[in-house]
Chains A and B, each alone.
Chain A
């Protein structure tokens, strides 16, 4: 049995990192939040850009981020007049038992006093968090998010299948994998539905892909078309194109669809492979999978995406040897060795699996070492969702 070393949290989940999260519930209080985070070791500030009303999708993803076990403690920095209050978010994170505190600009005397108060409160949380010790845990405590961005012809050929091998290995040892980007699953619903563990999950897969297509159609786009670039690159059918993306999740049965929308927000309820009804925007897609509980990310890229994440290690895997050589400062793993036959697909998959376990246990990814702290919440548009009948 493979083990990794992590920090056990009060709710039984296991963190791979010991981040302090400073949440500005709205962008109006992001400046003081950033300044507080800048003054406390290990802190990172995040916000969202969908206004100060209560949008359940935004709220759930902020709360999910705060609940993620990679976060050791949370400070909320509010403005004061927002409906999406710090108290509301704090209440929902409190069940994890992690240290929490709040400062509010309008209540606490403006920017300078709020920063002073916030730094002092977060300093206290930082010292408390620093007492956590890494201990060994089995892989059933690990949730991996798989993502692709800046894809090219090597993605579906080398990087995604190799990550798929790693996903399968993780699930065979009791772990969990989340794959998202349902836009890229068009044309494969019949294939994915066959891999669902039951009829209900199979139905949810059809519904999820249908909703994506209806959104695209409302914009005047038929998502089943293949572009000339796809065809020139060697892709013939929509099934082939979509399967190339999906393969990074491996080949195991699909346990369920994780809703992440204005009506519902789900987290995996058992180990195995899950599909999130998420977005195709890379940073937001990663953020939503992390909000659903993923502690680590395997990110495949052909052309060379550089993104990381505020609270989760993001391991970059490229199947393009030229991209690896050109961007070695960003790429953690070269899966391009598959192309010249110098390494087998399975062997690269094992290498990725081992790198994930090392990263889980504390080794920094290149994005982490470079200080990348990407974070973005995506929300569907209420007007179009209502017109399509997807929300109230």
Chain B
């Protein structure tokens, strides 16, 4: 059975995987309506709750989740790639702040 990833808003260019994927495993991406929008290979091991790219992105491109810009790509990103702190930066908070907070 293939892994699932959920696109929360139809404008999103990323989705969230709902199980831990391994390199090169198939991921089926579901739209908010439950339609399979793409099937792609996971290019990394992506943990549950983490993001997968739904399209190729250039450095500086906007990353959209919840229908809003959650930050910009800090590197070129390929479809199926894991999107996290190594390739996505906040538009409002410097990367040096990451992981230092106490609050949940």
Query: Hey, which chain A residues are within 8 Å of B16, CB to CB?
Result: 157, 234
Q: A346-B33, A347-B34 are in contact. Are A221 and B66 (CB under 8 A)?
A: no
Q: Which residues of B contact A (CB under 8 A)?
A: 4, 6, 8-9, 16, 18, 28, 30-35, 47-51, 65-71, 83-85, 88-93, 97-104
Give the number of residues in A that approach B within 8 Å (Cβ atoms).
Answer: 43
Query: Hey, which chain B residues are within 8 Å of A190, CB to CB?
Result: 92
Cβ of A236 under 8 Å from chain B: yes
Cβ of A222 under 8 Å from chain B: yes
Chain B proximity mask over A147-162: 1 for CB below 8 Å, otherwise 0: 0000101100110010
Query: Hey, which chain B residues are within 8 Å of A347, CB to CB?
Result: 34
Among residues of B, the one whose C-beta sits closest to the C-beta of A240 is B70
Query: Hey, which chain A residues are within 8 Å of B65, CB to CB?
Result: 240, 243
Query: Hey, which chain A residues are within 8 Å of B93, CB to CB?
Result: 187, 224-226, 237-238
Q: Give min CB distance, A333 to chain B, whole Å.
A: 17
A345-371 residues with Cβ-Cβ distance < 8 A to B are: 345-347
Decide: A236 and B66 in contact? CB cutoff 8 A. no
Instruction: Give which listed residue, A191, A229, A338, contacts B69 with CB less than 8 A.
Output: A191
Decide: A236 and B88 in contact? CB cutoff 8 A. yes
Kindly state the separation between the CA atoms of A105 and B91 in the bound complex, as whole angstroms: 59
Decide: B33 and A225 in contact? CB cutoff 8 A. no
Cβ of A340 under 8 Å from chain B: yes
Kindly state the separation between the CA atoms of A153 and B48 in the bound complex, as whole angstroms: 9
Decide: A239 and B69 in contact? CB cutoff 8 A. yes
Chain B proximity mask over A238-264: 1 for CB below 8 Å, otherwise 0: 111001101100010000000000000
Kindly state the separation between the CA atoms of A231 and B97 in the bound complex, as whole angstroms: 12
Q: A227-B101, A231-B99, A344-B32 are in contact. Are A243 and B70 (CB under 8 A)?
A: yes
Q: A161-B8, A345-B8 are in contact. Are A240 and B34 (CB under 8 A)?
A: no
Cβ of A52 under 8 Å from chain B: no
Decide: B4 and A222 in contact? CB cutoff 8 A. no
Could you pull out 7 A-B pairs where Cβ atoms are within 8 angstroms? A154-B49, A190-B92, A228-B99, A236-B51, A236-B88, A247-B8, A341-B18
Among residues of A, the one whose C-beta sits closest to the C-beta of B28 is A341
Among residues of B, the one whose C-beta sits closest to the C-beta of A223 is B103
Among residues of B, the one whose C-beta sits closest to the C-beta of A194 is B68
Cβ of A39 under 8 Å from chain B: no
Decide: B6 and A236 in contact? CB cutoff 8 A. no
Decide: B90 and A234 in contact? CB cutoff 8 A. no
Decide: B70 and A239 in contact? CB cutoff 8 A. yes
Among residues of A, the one whose C-beta sits closest to the C-beta of B18 is A339
Instruction: Give which listed residue, A226, A227, A229, A243, contacts B66 with CB less than 8 A.
Output: A243
Decide: B97 and A226 in contact? CB cutoff 8 A. yes
Query: Hey, which chain A residues are within 8 Å of B98, CB to CB?
Result: 226, 231
Q: A191-B68, A339-B18, A344-B33 are in contact. Are A239 and B90 (CB under 8 A)?
A: yes
Decide: A225 and B68 in contact? CB cutoff 8 A. no
Cβ of A343 under 8 Å from chain B: yes
Kindly state the separation between the CA atoms of A341 and B83 in the bound complex, as whole angstroms: 21
Q: A236-B88, A239-B71, A239-B92 are in contact. Are A230 and B66 (CB under 8 A)?
A: no
Cβ of A233 under 8 Å from chain B: yes
Q: Give min CB distance, B60 to chain A, whole Å.
A: 15
Kindly state the separation between the CA atoms of A91 and B72 in the bound complex, as whole angstroms: 55
Q: A231-B85, A236-B83 are in contact. Are A224 and B92 (CB under 8 A)?
A: yes
Decide: A221 and B67 in contact? CB cutoff 8 A. no
